[in-house]
Amino acid sequence: MDTKRLVLIFLGMWAVTYFPRFLPLAVLSRVKIPGRLMTWLSYLPAAILSALIFPGALVRGGRIDPWPGNPAVWALLVSFFVAVKSRNLILTMVCGGLVMFIGQAVF
């Protein structure tokens, strides 16, 4: 692949990646945020995180596979269980990763 063309494409990718990250922060951190928007924003992290996990973790072979034959289903269940019980991030990651590892050998 032509390096010069790639570099130009990457700079384009930079721009469209950077501005969605920058503009809301730059604008909203400089204005007084109305109460309702503030309440809405307070629910946004929980909503984003849960929306990211499920379709993301359960993709297999380019398709959503939410059924028990997918090791990620079990790894995710164990991750939630450990997270609720321990509230320890690293322990959750280790247990989730371990189940994923074993699960791939089984399924």
Partner 1 sequence: MEYPSDARTMIRRGFADALPIIIGYVPMGAAYGILARQSSMEFFPAVFMSLVVFAGASQFIAVGLLSGGATALEVVGATLFINLRHILMSASLSPYFQKAPRKALPFVAWGVTDETFAISIGRYPAGEGDYRYALALHYTAYVSWVSGTVLGAMAGSLVPPALQSSLEFSLYAMFAGLVVLQVTDRFHLTVVFFSAAAATLFSFFMEGTWPVIIAAVLGATLGLALESLMGKPGKEKAGS
Residues 3-62 that bind partner 1 (CB under 8 A): 3, 5-18, 20-30, 33, 36, 38-58
Binding characters for partner 1, 63-82, by CB under 8 A (x = yes): -x-x-----x--xx--xx-x
Between residues 47 and 69, which has the closer beta carbon with respect to partner 1? 47
Which candidate, 96, 56, 49, places its Cα nearest to that of 77? 96
Q: What six digits make up the tokens of 89?
A: 């991030």
Q: Where are the alpha helices (DSSP H) in 1-107?
A: 3-28, 35-57, 71-86, 89-106
- In the complex, least distance from residue 69 CB atom to partner 1, rounded to whole angstroms: 15
